[in-house]
Every structure is written in structure tokens, then in C-alpha cells.
A = this chain, B = another copy of it.
Amino acid sequence: MAPSPTQTADPVSRPTPAFSPLYRQIKALILQSLQASEWKPGELIPSEQELASRFRVSQGTVRKAVDELAADNLLLRRQGKGTFVSTHAEQQSQVRFLRLIPDHAGDEGPVQRHIVDCKRQRANAEVARALGLRAGDAVLQVRRVLAYPVQGRAVPTILEDLWLPGVPFKGLTAERLNGYSGPMYALFETEFGVHMVRAAEKIRAIAAEAEHAHLLEVARGSPLLSVERTAFTYKDVPMEWRRGLYRTDTHHYRNELS
């Protein structure tokens, strides 16, 4: 069999050019196709056999590449059906990146979302740095409040400000956000072709300022969880920066360590 991705490197003598196994090269090729939207979120990708013959490697090598992409949550394998591009849609009753859990298991149900604001801005230094832009570049700022049911009553629990780069999200308005019922990241996928792949959060405890207190219906100075998140698309390009303020008197942030 003749591997088409170059395995033996160029003949120039090098101490070991950061040796990369075949399956990682295949993984990179598949990633490229994902980035290029050759297959879109939710869609079926070619079978392992097809990919193997396309890349001129054995099925086992493709399998290992796909295994890693599935472990990274970029692909989703379903026995008997095929391998699918992962998506934030169809994540029924669970927003993938949201770790806030009700303290009492009974308190589950539909969230009420309210867009407080949605406007074009110029990025300040902090936002620009987080999004890899220059200060003054166009960004979109969205502010919203999420209210969760607690013993039957909707309690405003999350106040979020989020900033999006202006160019890829041109045309996003409060109306479009309001007219959509699924997760926000699913709307980003279908309407703007932006698939969030991973995110990093910085969590702090802060005291509620007057404005926050009012929107979350808590006393000024109440302790709130501040959750700053940078979300990335395929090539680790930052595409969203958000700051959430969470009430943690009825909910908590859950994290698993290993």
C-alpha cells in the first residue's frame, strides 16, 4: 500500500522533525475538511472505508484519527449509522458548555430568555485582546437574562454580556436571537457558519453592582459567580467572549475532575 500523506520526511538530515504519525496527518486532513465546511454540523461524513481509500491508508488508521476527533467532541460516532459532525443543535435539554445546575433536581424545565440589548460597538482593549482583534474594531454586544424555574416560578439566574466579532456575525440582531428557540451556538452554526468547538472559562466570586442586582433581582453587593468565557472555532480562533453573572443561591456550577 502506498500512503499518500508523506510519512518519510525530506532527505535533509534533521534530529527528528517532530515525528507525526500517519493517523495524525489523516486527522489534520479531516479537520481541514471540517473547517472548510465540506461536511456541516449534524451531517454524516463518509464511511471509514471511503475515507481510507480516499487517503490511501488502512481503515484502522482512519479509525484512530476519527477516534481522536470523536474524543475531542468534533465528531460523533453512532454504531450502525455512521459518523456525524457534532453540533450544538439537538442537544436536548442541555446546553453543552453551560455547567450551571439547579440545586434541587426537581427544578428543571424550560428556560426563559430575554434579550436586554444587542448593539454594534467598537471593541475596547479587553474585548479586542480576547477576540484577537484590534481595539476599535467592530464587535457586536449582546446582553441577555436567563430565568430558570425554581419551585414553579421563573427566577432570573444568569445575566450575560457577550461580544462577537463584527465581520463573521454581520446581520445578527435582537430579532433573530428572539426568533430562535434552540441554543445560541446552534443558531451561530446554521446562520453564520460558526461552530464553537471548545471554550475556556475563568471563574471568580464578585459582588453585584447596582445594575446587575436590578436585572437579577438580588440585593446590591450580593455574591455572584462571574464566569468569563472565550469560545473557539476549529482552528482555535476565538469567536466569542462572554461574561456571565450567575446567581448561586438556587443553582451551582458543577465540575468534574480527573
Seen from chain A, the residues whose Cβ lies within 8 Å of a Cβ on chain B are 71-73, 96-97, 99, 197-207, 221-226, 229, 246, 248, 252-258
Contact = CB atoms under 8 A, between A and B. Distances in A.
The main secondary structure of chain A at its interface with chain B is strand
A256 B198 CA distance: 8
A20 to B, nearest CB: 15
Nearest to A249: B204
Contacts of A71: 71
Given A197-B258, A223-B223, A204 B73 contact: no
6 contacts: A202-B252, A203-B248, A204-B253, A205-B225, A205-B246, A255-B255
Contacts of A198: 256-258
Residue of A96, A197, A202, A207 with highest tally of chain B CB at under 10 A: A202
A158 to B, nearest CB: 13
- Number of this chain's copies in the assembly equals 2
B253 A202 contact: yes
Contacts of A202: 252-254
B257 A199 contact: yes
Given A71-B71, A204-B248, 14 more contacts: A72-B258, A197-B258, A198-B257, A200-B256, A201-B255, A201-B257, A203-B248, A203-B252, A203-B255, A204-B253, A205-B205, A205-B224, A205-B226, A221-B221
Residue of A200, A252, A257 with highest tally of chain B CB at under 10 A: A257
Given A223-B224, A224-B223, A254 B205 contact: no
B200 A257 contact: yes
Contacts of A201: 254-257
A225 B197 contact: no
Contacts of A200: 254-257
Contacts of A248: 203-206
A192 to B, nearest CB: 20
Nearest to A96: B257
Nearest to A228: B252
A256 B197 CA distance: 11
